[in-house]
Each structure stands twice: as C-alpha cells, then as structure tokens.
Chains A and B, each alone.
Chain A
Amino acid sequence: MSTHPFSRKAVKIKGSRRSALDLARGRLVLISAVFSLAYILIAARVVDLSLIQGELQHYAESEAVESDEETGAIVEEQVRRADILDRNGVLLATSLEMASLYADPVMVADPVAVAEGLVRVFPDMIYGDMLQKLQRKSRFVWLRRNITPQEQYGVLELGQPGLKFEKGQRRIYPQGMLAAHFIGYTNIDGKGLAGVERSFDSFLNEAAGPLALTLDIRLQYILSREIRTAFEKFSAQGAVGVVLDITNGEILAATSLPSFDPHDPGGADQKALFNRLTLGVYELGSPFKIFSTAALLETLDVPMGKTFDARKPLKHGRFHISDFHPEKRRLTVPEVFVYSSNIGAALMGEMVGTEALKDFYKDLGLFSSLSLEIGEIGHPILPETWRDINTLTASYGHGIAVSPLQMVVAASTIMGGGTLLQPTLILDKNKAEKPRENLDLRVVSPQTAHRLRQLMRLTVTNGTGAKADVPGYRVGGKTGTAEKPGPKGYDRKRLLSSFIGFFPMEAPRYAVFVMLDEPKGTKDSFNYATGGWVAAPAVGRIIASMGPLLGVRPLPDGTTDDLAVSLKHYLHKEEKKGKKSLASY
C-alpha cells in the first residue's frame, strides 16, 4: 500500500481496524454466551438423566421391590402370549416360561471346573465345546436355550457366579404336527410367522383369554392318521385333507402333508412348510363336474334322461377331449356324472354357454381368493383370456386352478342347500377379524341341490366312488383323477387323485375331502392310482371313525330307502357292473 503516512485513508483504516476488533470482541462474547448456555443445557440434561431418571428411579424401584416382597405380590414382567385351543378346549398352543443359560466368561474363575460341572448337569453337552465357550474373551455367551427347571436347579447347585439365566417364553405345541399348518408357529421371540399364530399375532399378544379354533383335535387325529396312511401306502408326494361342517362353514380338521414340527420350523424344508390345502392351487379335475352339472341343472331345465354323445373324443380346434375309460355310447346326465365322463361334462358346459358358466363359477367363489382367517391363501389361476375351449375344459376341472379348500367350500355350498358358505377357523365369532359376509347369498336352488345330492349318492352306490361307502352312513361324493400339467402337456403318470365325500346324504352335515399328489398304484389297488382307488377308501375310513364320534345315527342294516334309487334307471350298464367296478376311477 503506497499511501502517504498522513493520508486520511491510512488513518481511517487504522481506526476502522480498531473498531472492527472491538466489534469482533463484542460478538465473541455473544458467541461464548451461546456456547455456555448450550453446555449448561447439556449438563442439565445429563443431571436429569443420571440423577432424576437414573439414581432416584433406581431408588424408587428398589423401594417398590422391597414392598412387593413384603406383601408377597408377584410382578409379572412379560405378558404371556395367549393360548390357542381347539373347539373343546384342548390345548393346541401355549407359552411356557423357560430359563436360558448363558455365561459371563469374565466371571468364570475356573473354566475347567465349570465345564466339568455343566457336563454333569447336561450329559449331552460336549466338554471341549463348553470349555472353549467359557474361555472366550467376551461378556456373554449362550450355553443352552430353554432348559428345564430341573436342569436349572442343577446349574444353580454348581454355585458358579459366571453362569446366569435369562427368562423367556417358549411356544409349545402339545399336539405336535397335528394341524401345524393352520395353528402356525412363532419365531424364538414369540412373533407369529404362519397360520393363526401370524394372522392373530397382535391379538394373541394382547388377549386376556385363549383363542378357540373350530378344529376338533379328535377329528384332526383321525384325518391325519388316515391321510398319512394313504400318503405312505401310495408313496404320494403330498396329501391334503379337510373335514368341514357344511351347516356353518367351521373347519373341524385340516391337514397338509408333508408336515413339520412347529417347534422347529427352521429344520423343515420349504415343501413341508407349504400349506397345500389353502395356499396351493391345482387343476383338480373331475370334482368340477359337480359345478358344471349344477350349472346345467340350474340354468337350463334339462331332464335327467337327456343324453350326451360320448362315442368318440371331442375335437375342438387343436384340443382333444377324451374319457379315461370310454363308454363309447350316448350317456344320460347321471351317467356322465357317475362314470365321470369328460366328454359329457364338456358337452354340458358347452350347452350352458361360456358366460353363464363363468357367472356360475364366480358366484361359487372360484374366481377369487378364499376368505379365511389365515394368511396362507392362494389366488386361483384362470385362463388369461377365456375362450370357448376354456368353458369345455373348466367343465371337467382343467384350465382352472383353485386351492383344494376353495373347491370343497364351493361343493359344500351346493350340498348345503345352495346358499354361499363362508369357511372359518375361529370358533368365537366376535374374535374373527373378518366381518361375516351376507350368508344368505343363494347360488343354486334347493331343487338343484337335491339333484346333486342324488347324483353324489349314486356315484358311491353305483359309480366311481364305491370304496367310500360306509354301511349305514349314506355317503355321497365325487371322485377326481386329474392329470398334472407337465412340460409336454398333461402327464398321464402324474395324477392328483381325490375324493370329496358328504354324509349323511339325506341332510348333508359334513364334508370330508382327501387328495393325494402323485400317488403310485399298489398291488392292493391293482396298480390304479385314481381317486376312486386311493382317496375314496380313505374318506370311507375317516367317515367310519368320525360318524360315531359326532353322534351321527347310522341307518339299521338292510334299509333300502335310498336317495339315489330314483336315478338308478338312468344307468344302462348294470349287466357289466361286477366286472367294471374294478376299473372305476
């Protein structure tokens, strides 16, 4: 700067620097004040935390504990997760308080002695393993989760200060695998991960009382026993079964195989955890003839004697519809149903018409997800664009995939008299999350319902379902033997064989459904793996066991007054019956 020493500018700069410094100092004081204030605030907050919320709180708590000890009051730390019961009050799921053992290795003075002591208390523990855990340089290591009171006593006897317990809850399923898919399971922290445990998770955590399901553990046992027998006998890949009270939609028993141990869902593979009854969707085949026949009787006034030409396979464009065991003649309505003719059913569907059949299926709830109180619900798979060929295939249960339970509910709707059935797993209706929909929605008339009852009974007395009959219990039903879709079209070797049965047929009360996934024929079944041979006998045995239990009165022997008698004269195959029945499917 080359200003003259006496110039105004130089003096002004010096003067302004002085005043600038004074200003800076003044503002520095302000900044100091702000910082001081902020630090005092932090200090005050720390005092609040450590003294008021910490020290004084601890003091108050220890006072409270002392007074509790004096009065003997027990402070429950955690709220117990509510139990799940069956309809008769049998325990299905409960929570037990259990201790878990951990070590604080820093507090373990003599790891060798402690490890030896532990191995004495827990004979299955490995000494070296324990020693290694106890010698870790950490403050926390789990030794054994969920130990018994006796084991805990044994550990306390060791008198080692480094061994400590943490209390927790463990979910116990006294019925083991029974209905595991529907009761569900929780993770180690007690959070519901499947079934009712998941869908009612918050309810169970907050509820004062137990949650009762519609399941009846006795029926559940019968169902599981018979399904497992059939599953093993026919070396199936999977199997499902359900028992439904069709008067109110209550699911009395339900099972899906392969199953899993709900105490250790992590040890099960994905296939076992999968709920085939509600989450799986399948092309179920012939049981759909119940719906196409009902649609025919409901929409068109067709006499029972009306015949359909089943002499040769039906050709529709590149599609080819044929019968399993062709009758090669014109079949009446009962014959189509009872001998399960695909050609006949397709012709019926064609007669009903695409729009009417779609509307009818939709009314039965086959086009949308089933509404049930668990989360594992599969959505039906429908043709992307519904052409006329789809009407023909849907009439005998192909080209449309629904969950097995959905099909059973739709069939039960018809059997129950024609008003839409809402299935449920929860006994106490006030606790059911979903509001009950209008149950008076009529899908078929009582007349059609009666006709279908007759046809189902006829299927058991004179048709493919003969092996499901139980003397005195008037069983009716429909077989299903569906070929599974494979990479090259439908596969004749891989079947879904099922039987849906109802009883007692005059006033149907119970639906019993059994389905085997890819059963293999045995010598006993003359190598047949059809619904009539693998599923119908299981249904028969289930009904024979559960009928007496539920107080269904059997008709005395020799009673001929049969529902299906009036339809028998529509069957024109009597002379061959003895031989043919072996080949029924």
Chain B
Amino acid sequence: MTALFSRADQSILGRWWWTVDRTMLAAFFALIIFGIVLVMAASPPVAERIGLDQYHFIKRHLIMLGPALLLMFSVSFLTPRMVWRLASLVLAGGILAMIVVLFTGMEIKGAQRWIHLPGFSLQPSEFVKPAFAVVAAWFMTFQTERPEFRGNRMAAGVFLCVISLLLLQPDLGMTVVVSCIYGAQIFMAGFPLWIVVVLAVLGLTGLVTAYFVFDHVQSRIDRFLDPSAGDSYQVKKALEAFQEGGLWGAGPGQGTVKLQLPDAHADFIFAVAGEELGLVFVLLLIMLFAFVLLRGFNRLMECDDMFVVLATGGLLVMFGMQALVHMGSSVHLLPAKGMTLPFISYGGSSLLSVSLAMGMVLALTRRRVRSGVAGGRRRVVKGIRKGTG
C-alpha cells in the first residue's frame, strides 16, 4: 500500500495516508473481521428462533458494514475543528431525536430507545455518546483558553441533559458509559481530585438509587450477587459456553451452547467467541481491544492540543468501557448488562456509532504540524510569535 502514495504526495488522500494512524486502522479491520465471523456463527439460531430467515442478521450486518466503513473513513479526513462541528450537529440532532423517541418511540425489551426509519430503526442515544465526548471536550478546552467562557458549566449542563434523557428511556448501561466518559474527561482536564471523588461518589449514589428505582436493575444486581436467587439463564449459558470452548474452541459454527443463548448475536457475542474460537482467540480479541485503547492513549502523549487529548480520551474511554462491560457481563464479573461489543456485535446503530467515534479518533490523532480548534488559541500563538519574531 505504501507504494500507492509517495511521501511527497500532497493530495488529500496522500496526506491522509501519511498522517493517519495506520496501525490503529489495521486493528479496527481485525475487529471487524472477528465480528463478521462471530455474527455468522451466532446469529442463525437467533434468527430462526424469532422466525426470520437464518441469514437475516448476517445479511444486515454485512450491508451495514458498507455505510459504517464509509462513515469512519470520511470522518477520519476531517480536521479537529470540523470534527467538533460535526459532533455538535450530531449531538443537537441526537438530543432532539431522543426527546422524540420518548414520546413516539417503540418499546423494545422494556425501554423506549428506537426511532423507526424506512428499512431500519435507529437508536439515537448511540450517536449522542461520541458526540457528547467531543462537545464536552471542546467546552472544557475553550474555558482554559478563555477563562470568562463558562465551558465547564456548559459541559456539565450538556452532561446532565444527556443522562436525564437516558434515564427516562430508561437506559442505565448507556448512562454509566456517558458518565464514565465525562468523569474521565474532567479527570484529564485537571480538575482537583476532590471534585472527581465527589462526582464519583455522586455517581455511585446514582447507581444505588437506580437499584431501588428500577425493578429490572434491582433484579439484575440481585441475580449477580446471588445467582441462585432468580433466573440467570443467559449468564449461566454464557459461562457454559466458555467452559465448552476450552483452549481451542469448538471451531467457528460448531458451538452448541450458543443455540440456547437468546442474545447470542448481540449482547452475548463474546460468549460465542469463547465457545467457538477458544481461549487463544478470545485472549487475542481482548488484546486487540486493549491495543486500540493503549495505542490511542499513547498517541495523545505526544499531542499538545488539549481539545484533542480530551476528545480522543473521552472517545477511547467510551470504546474501552463498552467492551469492558460487554466482556465483564459475559464472564459474570459484572451484572448482566446488555451492551454491544464494538465492531463485533450485530446491531446497525451501534456499528454506525462506533464507526463514527473511531473515525473521529482517527481524525483527531492524525499527525499534524500545528492545529487548533479552540478559537482563541491560534491567535494567542500568533500573538506570541509576533512578539518573539
């Protein structure tokens, strides 16, 4: 591929190729391939059980990969400034859609999350997540540039608005992820530790409240703490799947425990990986996720743009948390929480949202000489240059 573009190539595509994080891109492709294999293995029994054509989910997954990849690539061409503009648009649209969903949305499995478009349904909250990470980062950065701008308060306001909409659906998993994004961002933004601690305590209090307010949360946590207390069928089957898989797995498509996993293609696809691919490949999968995270964080070490650090940090935390919660609940380290595994699980909205988020990460982590997005900065730099030069 390198032969395609000369180092001196100054076309948009050439510049993109030499500045984008190609290793990260390769990792995403590896995840996508894992995803195709696992959706092919896991979804036919699910489709059959709910009376669809057995290739239904596979077809849709492959069809969705096209727009998803296109989205990721085109977003990765954007400059940081354009990224935040895009994010603000998506956030505004997403919040609006979430309000609409509250009133008109269809109820699926006890929550109103979906908006129906011809041909497929969208879950607006999936897109609000990454957009929120970027917008909040921009607000916080802008305050460090212009102290009179109340960016931190505005970020907090947006955060409260988003999580209250999420809680109204109710979608606790998403709330936790958004809270983690925001928590990580204020942590990175250098807020005094006590504020971070206070907010963490508030978050925990919120979780405890959720335990008492939402029946389904209570029963999930009760079942996590005491598996014999109630029906923990999926988790039991998931554990069984890992045990059946052993070191080398049953081979793609050869699993039998997955036949009894109602959400094998989405919320429990990690268990299918355990059964069919075995320990070796599952460890590889975990390492891939860890690699994406650490590579991304590492890339930020050499970056001197606060906005890029906060936005990318937030996006990566979202990516890492989602994978963590998914894998954690499959192996019964966390209470069962339906969350998709980025790039792997079936699910149009989640695939598009992860592609958007990672496209933004690719865009933000592109190597650049000097760039800035927070309006005041360039002028300050210019001013200093003028002074020194």
Which positions in A face B, CB cutoff 8 Å? 1, 3, 5-6, 10, 13-14, 16-17, 20-21, 23-25, 27-32, 35-36, 38-39, 41-43, 45-47, 49-51, 53-55, 57-58, 137-140
- Contact residues in A for B239 (Cβ distance below 8 Å): 49, 53
Inter-subunit contact B243/A53 (CB<8 Å): yes
Q: Which single member of B187, B243, B286, B297 contacts A49 (CB below 8 Å)?
A: B243
B168 touches A (CB below 8 Å): no
Q: A1-B379, A13-B380, A24-B313 are in contact. List 18 more A-B contacts (CB 8 A).
A: A1-B376, A1-B383, A3-B383, A17-B145, A17-B306, A20-B306, A21-B304, A29-B297, A36-B290, A46-B282, A46-B286, A49-B243, A49-B331, A50-B242, A51-B279, A137-B54, A138-B45, A139-B259
Inter-subunit contact A32/B294 (CB<8 Å): yes
* Nearest-Cβ distance from residue A214 to partner chain B, whole angstroms: 37
* Nearest-Cβ distance from residue A38 to partner chain B, whole angstroms: 5
Closest to A140 in B: B259
Q: Which single member of A24, A42, A54 contacts B244 (CB below 8 Å)?
A: A54
* Nearest-Cβ distance from residue A203 to partner chain B, whole angstroms: 21
- Contact residues in A for B243 (Cβ distance below 8 Å): 49-50, 53-54, 57-58
Inter-subunit contact B317/A31 (CB<8 Å): yes
- Contact residues in B for A20 (Cβ distance below 8 Å): 144, 189-190, 306
* Nearest-Cβ distance from residue B330 to partner chain A, whole angstroms: 9
Inter-subunit contact B274/A39 (CB<8 Å): no
Inter-subunit contact A42/B245 (CB<8 Å): no
Inter-subunit contact B246/A42 (CB<8 Å): no
A-B contact pairs, 19 of them (CB 8 A): A5-B387, A10-B380, A13-B380, A17-B306, A20-B190, A24-B188, A24-B313, A27-B188, A31-B317, A35-B294, A42-B331, A43-B283, A49-B242, A50-B242, A50-B245, A54-B245, A57-B243, A138-B48, A139-B256
- Contact residues in B for A31 (Cβ distance below 8 Å): 184, 187-188, 297, 313, 317
Cα of A35 to Cα of B309 in the assembled complex, Å: 17
Cα of A3 to Cα of B386 in the assembled complex, Å: 13
Inter-subunit contact B190/A24 (CB<8 Å): yes
Inter-subunit contact B306/A21 (CB<8 Å): yes
* Nearest-Cβ distance from residue A137 to partner chain B, whole angstroms: 6
Which positions in B face A, CB cutoff 8 Å? 45, 48, 54, 144-146, 184, 187-190, 239, 242-247, 256, 259, 274, 278-279, 282-283, 286-287, 289-290, 293-294, 297-298, 300-301, 304, 306, 309-310, 313, 317, 320, 324, 327-328, 331-333, 376, 379-380, 383-384, 386-387
- Contact residues in B for A3 (Cβ distance below 8 Å): 383
* Nearest-Cβ distance from residue B192 to partner chain A, whole angstroms: 11
9 tightest Cβ-Cβ pairs between the two chains A and B: A5-B387, A49-B242, A54-B243, A55-B246, A50-B279, A23-B190, A54-B246, A45-B331, A24-B188
- Contact residues in A for B309 (Cβ distance below 8 Å): 21, 24-25, 28
- Contact residues in A for B294 (Cβ distance below 8 Å): 32, 35-36
Cα of A39 to Cα of B188 in the assembled complex, Å: 21
Interface centre among A21, A138, A139 (most CB of B within 10 A): A21
Cα of A195 to Cα of B285 in the assembled complex, Å: 55
- Contact residues in B for A27 (Cβ distance below 8 Å): 187-188, 190
Inter-subunit contact B274/A32 (CB<8 Å): no
Cα of A30 to Cα of B193 in the assembled complex, Å: 13
Cα of A20 to Cα of B140 in the assembled complex, Å: 12
Cα of A138 to Cα of B379 in the assembled complex, Å: 66
Contacts A24-B309, A27-B187, A46-B279 hold; do A35 and B380 have CB atoms under 8 A apart? no
Inter-subunit contact B247/A55 (CB<8 Å): yes
Q: Which single member of B278, B293, B327 contacts A32 (CB below 8 Å)?
A: B293
Cα of A1 to Cα of B274 in the assembled complex, Å: 57
- Contact residues in B for A38 (Cβ distance below 8 Å): 324, 328
* Nearest-Cβ distance from residue B137 to partner chain A, whole angstroms: 11
Cα of A247 to Cα of B96 in the assembled complex, Å: 80
Cα of A28 to Cα of B144 in the assembled complex, Å: 18
* Nearest-Cβ distance from residue A10 to partner chain B, whole angstroms: 6
Cα of A147 to Cα of B352 in the assembled complex, Å: 51
* Nearest-Cβ distance from residue A132 to partner chain B, whole angstroms: 15
Q: Which single member of B48, B188, B286, B290 contacts A137 (CB below 8 Å)?
A: B48
Closest to B327 in A: A42
Cα of A57 to Cα of B245 in the assembled complex, Å: 12
Cα of A57 to Cα of B242 in the assembled complex, Å: 12
- Contact residues in B for A41 (Cβ distance below 8 Å): 333
The binding surface of chain B is classed by DSSP as: helix
Cα of A337 to Cα of B259 in the assembled complex, Å: 72
Inter-subunit contact B242/A46 (CB<8 Å): yes
- Contact residues in A for B256 (Cβ distance below 8 Å): 139
* Nearest-Cβ distance from residue A430 to partner chain B, whole angstroms: 29
Inter-subunit contact A50/B290 (CB<8 Å): no
- Contact residues in A for B146 (Cβ distance below 8 Å): 1
Q: Which single member of A13, A28, A51, A139 contacts B247 (CB below 8 Å)?
A: A51
- Contact residues in A for B324 (Cβ distance below 8 Å): 35, 38-39, 42
Inter-subunit contact B144/A50 (CB<8 Å): no
Cα of A140 to Cα of B260 in the assembled complex, Å: 11
Inter-subunit contact A28/B279 (CB<8 Å): no
Closest to B383 in A: A5
* Nearest-Cβ distance from residue B246 to partner chain A, whole angstroms: 4
Cα of A397 to Cα of B247 in the assembled complex, Å: 77
Inter-subunit contact A25/B300 (CB<8 Å): yes
Closest to A38 in B: B324
- Contact residues in A for B247 (Cβ distance below 8 Å): 50-51, 55
Q: Which single member of B145, B245, B301, B317 contacts A13 (CB below 8 Å)?
A: B145
- Contact residues in A for B380 (Cβ distance below 8 Å): 1, 10, 13-14
- Contact residues in A for B187 (Cβ distance below 8 Å): 27, 30-31
- Contact residues in B for A51 (Cβ distance below 8 Å): 246-247, 279
Cα of A99 to Cα of B180 in the assembled complex, Å: 53
- Contact residues in B for A1 (Cβ distance below 8 Å): 145-146, 376, 379-380, 383
Cα of A41 to Cα of B313 in the assembled complex, Å: 22
- Contact residues in A for B320 (Cβ distance below 8 Å): 35
Contacts A10-B380, A13-B145 hold; do A50 and B282 have CB atoms under 8 A apart? yes
Contacts A28-B300, A32-B293 hold; do A6 and B387 have CB atoms under 8 A apart? yes
- Contact residues in B for A138 (Cβ distance below 8 Å): 45, 48
Closest to A50 in B: B279
* Nearest-Cβ distance from residue B2 to partner chain A, whole angstroms: 29
* Nearest-Cβ distance from residue B282 to partner chain A, whole angstroms: 5
- Contact residues in B for A35 (Cβ distance below 8 Å): 290, 293-294, 320, 324
Inter-subunit contact A42/B279 (CB<8 Å): no
- Contact residues in B for A36 (Cβ distance below 8 Å): 290, 294
Q: Which single member of B188, B279, B290, B383 contacts A47 (CB below 8 Å)?
A: B279
Cα of A74 to Cα of B18 in the assembled complex, Å: 69
Interface centre among A24, A29, A43, A58 (most CB of B within 10 A): A24
Q: Which single member of A17, A24, A30, A43 contacts B310 (CB below 8 Å)?
A: A24
* Nearest-Cβ distance from residue B386 to partner chain A, whole angstroms: 6
- Contact residues in B for A16 (Cβ distance below 8 Å): 144
Cα of A55 to Cα of B244 in the assembled complex, Å: 8
- Contact residues in B for A39 (Cβ distance below 8 Å): 286, 289-290, 293, 324
- Contact residues in A for B144 (Cβ distance below 8 Å): 13, 16-17, 20
* Nearest-Cβ distance from residue A400 to partner chain B, whole angstroms: 44
* Nearest-Cβ distance from residue B194 to partner chain A, whole angstroms: 14
- Contact residues in A for B283 (Cβ distance below 8 Å): 43, 46-47
Closest to A137 in B: B54
Cα of A138 to Cα of B187 in the assembled complex, Å: 51
Q: Which single member of A29, A43, A58 contacts B286 (CB below 8 Å)?
A: A43
Cα of A140 to Cα of B304 in the assembled complex, Å: 59
Cα of A39 to Cα of B327 in the assembled complex, Å: 9
Cα of A430 to Cα of B145 in the assembled complex, Å: 84
Contacts A24-B309, A31-B184 hold; do A45 and B333 have CB atoms under 8 A apart? yes
Cα of A492 to Cα of B376 in the assembled complex, Å: 101
Cα of A330 to Cα of B246 in the assembled complex, Å: 94
Closest to A13 in B: B380
Interface centre among B294, B310, B331 (most CB of A within 10 A): B331
Closest to B147 in A: A13
Inter-subunit contact A46/B274 (CB<8 Å): yes
